[in-house]
Amino acid sequence: MKNRKDVLYLFLFLLSFCSKGIGQVLEPSSWKYEASETNVKIGEEVTLIFTATIDKDWYLYSSDFDPDCGPMVTTFTFKENSTYQLVGELKAINPIEKFDDIFECNVRIFKKTGRFEQKVKILSENPVIAGNYEFQVCSDIDGKCIPFDYDFEFTSFTVTKAQNTAPEKPGRKQENNANTKSSESVEVVVPIETPPNTPDADSSLLKPRPAETDIKNLETESQGPILDPGLIKEDPKDKSIIWFMIFAFIAGLAALLTPCVFPMIPMTVTYFTGKSGGKGKALVYGCSIIFIYTVIGSALAPLMGPETANHLSTEWLPNLIFFAVFILFALSFFGLFEITLPSGFVNKMDQKADKGGLIGVFFMAFTLVLVSFSCTGPIVGSILVASAGGEVIKPILGMFAFSLAFAVPFTLFAIFPGWLNTLPKSGGWLNSVKVVLGFLELALAFKFLSIADQAFHWGILDRDINIAIWVVIFTLMGLYLLGKIMLPNDSPSDHI
């Protein structure tokens, strides 16, 4: 046990070391920050301007889109003190709207240059305005993303105290002499200088605000279209989750057609039929299966958030690990070996299932989940890997959809046992389904290897070679279905 812990700690150390090393390879952006005015009075507002210069073929994520989408949004953190006060929220000036293919959601980015503005109110003669900003820049070429974290501090202010002049009441006759009137008029007429590209507060009252339907038609010369922030939360993310749940549901149906599961359906139906309360117990049995798989998804959900999605899309080590895991899954489906859980644990669950009652029905469902693991494990693992796309709720919904498709047939056939006559008989075709799933796992394995190759330009798998490998894989799958290739556990068939 001690040796296993040492190996685990070594693995985590190497993973951390590689992650830090990757982040220091490139620095494709440079920043400068300045204040719109340095000579100010106490009580006046100043705009702090942060400008990023971004290298060619790179882009910077903005700060004004849903942070749960997946990418790392740009954030500015100000250290609070009594010398200044934040006015309003940070503004990203004219970012570009973009649909991110990796995270499958709408994001906002900057290319070439990025600009952020924050208004502050000066409250002291010696203001101390400091903090840090975190951001992420990504490559248009290979999709590599690099996070950064910098500090900032504004110290070049010259602050004077404001004059305490009481405002004059409207309609009161002014009795000041000409010199005083002249000096006062100068004080009133001279406007406070505003930074470039910063709208004046009073001018906003003179210009009509464009209608919301016209906002998406506005364009800037350097950054492209400006969309209504409300449009960011439209359905691409929701659609991706819906399609993911459909994929998981279909995977649950496919798991039913494997040699480990399909023969269990009539055995389960026979157990529930002819007993008092059999239909109710069958319903509990199906709900227990859904509950068990959903709990598995809930336990792994914290590990499948935005950071995991970013690691999968930018770093080589997790992609190589998933490549090896999917190869292992494929070889298991091909019949070279079986991935099983410890027999002692399975036997204990089976013994608890014999106690009867609703508790026994639950452990009976648990036993099915454990016994069928050699066939369902690779499918469940594929769904969990696919769920690492920035949505923490994805693995929970994925496991729910998978278990729903997996459990409903057991429940329905137990409630309506006559439907068993419509099921095909078990046979060699079940192993064929398992082998086809193995070919799909093999194709997915090379997808992860290609991501690692593209991120670091190893030259092992470019796009053409990766497509060629997929062509070979699916050609072999076609030859297998035609009976030209035989694998272990296959039985000869007289027809295709």
* Span 217-231, pLDDT tens digits: 433 333 444 344 443
Locate tokens 């490559």: which residue? 139
User: What pLDDT score was predicted for residue 194?
Assistant: 42
135 three-state secondary structure: strand
User: Region 86-106: what's the mean pLDDT?
Assistant: 85
pLDDT at 160 over 60: yes
> Between these two residues, 491 and 209, which has the higher pLDDT value?
491
Place 197 in a pLDDT band, splitting at 50, 70 and 90.
Answer: very low
Yes or no: say if 349 and 367 are a contact pair by the CB < 8 Å rule. yes
Residue type present at position 67:
P
pLDDT digits 0-9 by tens, 395-443: 888 889 999 998 888 888 878 877 777 777 777 777 888 889 889 888 8
Does the pLDDT value for residue 15 go beyond 50? Answer: no
- Whether 113 shows a pLDDT value over 50: the answer reads yes
Q: How many residues does the chain have?
A: 496
To which residue do tokens 């899309």 refer?
313
Prediction pTM value: 0.46
Q: Which tokens hold the place of 92?
A: 């990203």
Residue 148, pLDDT score: 84
Beta bridge pairs of residue 29 = 54
Question: What was the pLDDT predicted at 494?
Answer: 64
**C-beta of residue 335 within 8 angstroms of C-beta of residue 435:** yes
φ and ψ at residue 85, rounded to 5 degrees: -145, 135
Check: CB of residue 382 under 8 Å from CB of residue 322.
Answer: no
For residues 150-166, give the mean pLDDT. Answer: 76
Instruction: Supply the pLDDT for residue 417.
Output: 77
Question: Average pLDDT, stretch 33-40?
Answer: 87
8/166 Cα distance (integer angstroms)? 72
Name beta bridge partners: 143: none
Report whether 85 contacts 123 (CB < 8 A). yes
Query: What's 127's DSSP letter?
Result: -
Look at residue 151 and tell me whether its pLDDT is greater than 50.
Answer: yes
Per-residue pLDDT reduced to its tens digit, 438-489:
898 888 888 778 777 766 666 777 778 888 999 999 999 999 888 888 887 7
Q: Which of 237, 203, 300, 227 is nearest to 100 (CA)?
A: 237
Average pLDDT over residues 317-325: 79
Query: Domain boundaries in the chain?
Result: 28-160, 236-481
CATH class of 28-160: mainly beta
pLDDT recorded at residue 227: 41
**pLDDT at residue 305 in the model:** 55
- Mean pLDDT across 362-379: 83
Half-sphere exposure of 236 (CA within 13 A, CB side): 16
Q: Cα-Cα-Cα-Cα dihedral of 153, 156, 160, 166, to 10°?
A: -60
Question: How far apart are alpha carbons 282 and 361 in whole angstroms?
Answer: 8
Q: Which amino acid is at 97?
A: E
Handedness of CA 59, 65, 67, 73 (dihedral sign): positive
Cα–Cα distance for residue pair 71/68, rounded to 1 Å: 8
Task: Identify the three-state secondary structure at position 55.
Answer: coil
Q: Report CA-CA distances (Å) from 194 to 84, 113, 187, 415.
A: 19, 21, 17, 75
Give the C-alpha separation, 158 to 34, whole Å: 14
pLDDT at res. 367: 84
CA 283 to chain centre: 34
Average pLDDT over residues 92-104: 82
Q: Residue 442 contacts by C-beta under 8 Å, 6 or more apart in sequence? A: 326, 327, 330, 473
pLDDT for 419: 79
Residue type at position 484: K
Tokens 């208004």 map to which residue?
Answer: 119
Q: What is the pLDDT of residue 110?
A: 93
What average pLDDT score do residues 55-70 get? 85
